[in-house]
Amino acid sequence: MRISDEDFETAIEEALSSVPPRFHRVLDNIGIAMDDEPNERELAGMDDECGELLGLYEGIPLPQRTNEYGGVMPDVITIFKGPHERVCDTHEELVMQIRKTVMHEIGHYFGFDDDYLHAHGY
């Protein structure tokens, strides 16, 4: 399944807009990026059951931030286009997987590990 960069970005934005307001309000010092493919460094820590790295959260999860947290570079969530295209067969499936990936990576921001997120459908 192929998707244009613009449609991929729109799907990410739509996923972000579906984050409940009470969670959206506490998203602080975090950026969302898209990239075509993960690089070797990003793949090195991969533990994904579908065999593709769909997204990556890099930063300090909210529960680990202390009073000394400040003046640091923003956390980054990267959503990878190529892996999404390879694991999805339809446009609808692709948009749903992008949403699931965005929510999964936001879950890491809130301190949830992969086991917890997979157990809850993310």
| Domain ranges across the chain | 5-65+73-119
- Is the pTM of the predicted complex or chain greater than 0.85? yes
Taking 70 as the threshold, does the pLDDT of residue 2 lie above it?
A: yes
Average pLDDT in the chain: 91
- What is the predicted pLDDT for the residue at 45? 73
Query: CB neighbours (10 Å) of residue 63?
Result: 9
Q: How far is CA 120 from the centre of its chain?
A: 15
* Percent of all residues in the chain with a pLDDT value above 70, rounded to a whole number: 97
pLDDT digits (tens, 9 = 90+) for 45-84: 776 555 899 999 999 999 998 888 888 899 999 999 999 9
Please give the Cα distance from 118 to 49 (Å, whole number).
Answer: 10
Which CATH architecture fits 5-65+73-119?
2-Layer Sandwich (3.30)
CA proximity to 117, closest of 31, 49, 60, 28: 49
- What is the predicted pLDDT for the residue at 50? 56
pLDDT digits (tens, 9 = 90+) for 89-121: 999 999 999 999 999 999 999 999 988 988 888
Question: 7 to each of 34, 89, 98, how far by Cα in Å?
Answer: 12, 16, 11
